[in-house]
Amino acid sequence: MRIRVCGVADLEPGRAKRVLVDHRAPIAVFNIAGKFYVTDDDCTHGLSSLAKDGQIEGDEVECGWHGGRFNIITGEPTFSPCVVRLNTYAVAVVAGDVFADVG
Protein backbone atom coordinates (compact mmCIF):
# COMPACT_ATOMS: atom_id res chain seq x y z
CA MET A 1 0.00 0.00 0.00
CA ARG A 2 1.46 3.32 -1.07
CA ILE A 3 0.51 6.36 1.00
CA ARG A 4 1.36 10.04 0.80
CA VAL A 5 3.37 11.00 3.88
CA CYS A 6 4.04 14.70 3.23
CA GLY A 7 4.85 17.29 0.62
CA VAL A 8 8.51 17.88 -0.23
CA ALA A 9 8.10 21.48 0.93
CA ASP A 10 6.55 20.42 4.25
CA LEU A 11 9.71 18.99 5.80
CA GLU A 12 13.01 20.85 5.94
CA PRO A 13 16.35 19.01 5.90
CA GLY A 14 17.22 17.68 9.34
CA ARG A 15 13.59 17.39 10.37
CA ALA A 16 11.16 14.51 10.85
CA LYS A 17 7.41 14.05 11.02
CA ARG A 18 5.25 11.39 12.64
CA VAL A 19 2.59 10.03 10.29
CA LEU A 20 -0.44 8.09 11.50
CA VAL A 21 -1.57 5.24 9.27
CA ASP A 22 -4.84 3.34 9.64
CA HIS A 23 -4.59 -0.10 11.29
CA ARG A 24 -0.85 -0.06 11.93
CA ALA A 25 1.82 1.57 14.06
CA PRO A 26 2.84 5.13 13.13
CA ILE A 27 5.69 5.76 10.72
CA ALA A 28 8.24 8.57 10.58
CA VAL A 29 9.40 10.47 7.52
CA PHE A 30 12.85 12.05 7.71
CA ASN A 31 14.50 14.60 5.45
CA ILE A 32 18.26 14.05 5.42
CA ALA A 33 20.03 16.61 3.27
CA GLY A 34 17.11 16.75 0.86
CA LYS A 35 16.51 12.98 0.60
CA PHE A 36 13.48 11.41 2.24
CA TYR A 37 13.45 8.21 4.30
CA VAL A 38 10.60 6.44 6.08
CA THR A 39 10.89 4.13 9.09
CA ASP A 40 8.70 2.96 11.92
CA ASP A 41 8.25 5.87 14.31
CA ASP A 42 8.14 3.99 17.60
CA CYS A 43 11.54 3.32 19.14
CA THR A 44 12.04 -0.44 19.47
CA HIS A 45 13.27 -0.03 23.05
CA GLY A 46 10.37 1.76 24.67
CA LEU A 47 7.95 3.11 22.05
CA SER A 48 9.07 6.73 22.17
CA SER A 49 8.19 8.68 19.02
CA LEU A 50 11.47 9.12 17.17
CA ALA A 51 10.04 11.87 14.98
CA LYS A 52 8.61 13.89 17.85
CA ASP A 53 11.09 13.22 20.66
CA GLY A 54 14.23 12.23 18.78
CA GLN A 55 17.26 14.26 17.77
CA ILE A 56 18.55 13.90 14.20
CA GLU A 57 22.31 13.99 13.71
CA GLY A 58 23.49 13.25 10.19
CA ASP A 59 21.86 10.01 9.11
CA GLU A 60 21.09 8.90 12.66
CA VAL A 61 18.27 9.62 15.09
CA GLU A 62 18.83 9.59 18.84
CA CYS A 63 15.83 8.55 20.89
CA GLY A 64 14.68 11.22 23.30
CA TRP A 65 13.90 8.80 26.11
CA HIS A 66 17.08 6.78 26.79
CA GLY A 67 19.58 7.92 24.17
CA GLY A 68 19.50 4.88 21.91
CA ARG A 69 20.31 5.50 18.27
CA PHE A 70 19.29 4.20 14.85
CA ASN A 71 20.61 4.63 11.36
CA ILE A 72 17.68 6.25 9.56
CA ILE A 73 18.62 4.82 6.16
CA THR A 74 19.00 1.18 7.22
CA GLY A 75 16.92 1.12 10.40
CA GLU A 76 19.76 -0.63 12.23
CA PRO A 77 20.38 0.24 15.88
CA THR A 78 23.74 1.98 16.36
CA PHE A 79 23.80 2.65 20.10
CA SER A 80 22.41 0.95 23.18
CA PRO A 81 19.97 0.35 24.68
CA CYS A 82 18.43 -0.17 21.22
CA VAL A 83 19.14 -3.62 19.76
CA VAL A 84 16.15 -4.26 17.47
CA ARG A 85 16.10 -2.59 14.08
CA LEU A 86 13.38 -0.31 12.78
CA ASN A 87 11.44 -1.35 9.71
CA THR A 88 12.25 0.86 6.74
CA TYR A 89 10.00 1.56 3.76
CA ALA A 90 10.58 2.37 0.11
CA VAL A 91 10.06 6.03 -0.70
CA ALA A 92 9.06 7.73 -3.93
CA VAL A 93 8.92 11.45 -4.63
CA VAL A 94 6.35 12.32 -7.28
CA ALA A 95 5.38 15.82 -8.34
CA GLY A 96 6.33 17.42 -5.05
CA ASP A 97 4.83 14.77 -2.79
CA VAL A 98 6.56 12.07 -0.76
CA PHE A 99 5.07 8.57 -0.80
CA ALA A 100 5.96 5.44 1.16
CA ASP A 101 5.17 1.79 0.45
CA VAL A 102 4.05 0.53 3.85
CA GLY A 103 2.98 -2.98 2.87
Name the residues that contact ligand FES, by CB under 6 A: 43, 45-46, 48, 63, 65-66, 68, 81-82
Residue 26 or 81: the one with the smaller Cβ distance to ligand FES is 81
Return the amino acid letter for 100.
A
E strand map for 34-87: 35-40, 55-57, 60-62, 69-71, 77-79
Residue 66 or 85: the one with the smaller Cβ distance to ligand FES is 66
List beta partners, residue 35. 32
CB of 62 to ligand FES, least distance (A): 9
What distance in Å separates the CA atoms of residue 14 and residue 55, rounded to the nearest whole number? 9
What distance in Å separates the CA atoms of residue 52 and residue 48, rounded to the nearest whole number? 8
By CB atoms closer than 10 A (0-12, 13-18, 19+), residue 97 is: middle
Residue 38 or 45: the one with the smaller Cβ distance to ligand FES is 45
CB of 34 to ligand FES, least distance (A): 27
CB of 26 to ligand FES, least distance (A): 14
Residue 47 or 92: the one with the smaller Cβ distance to ligand FES is 47
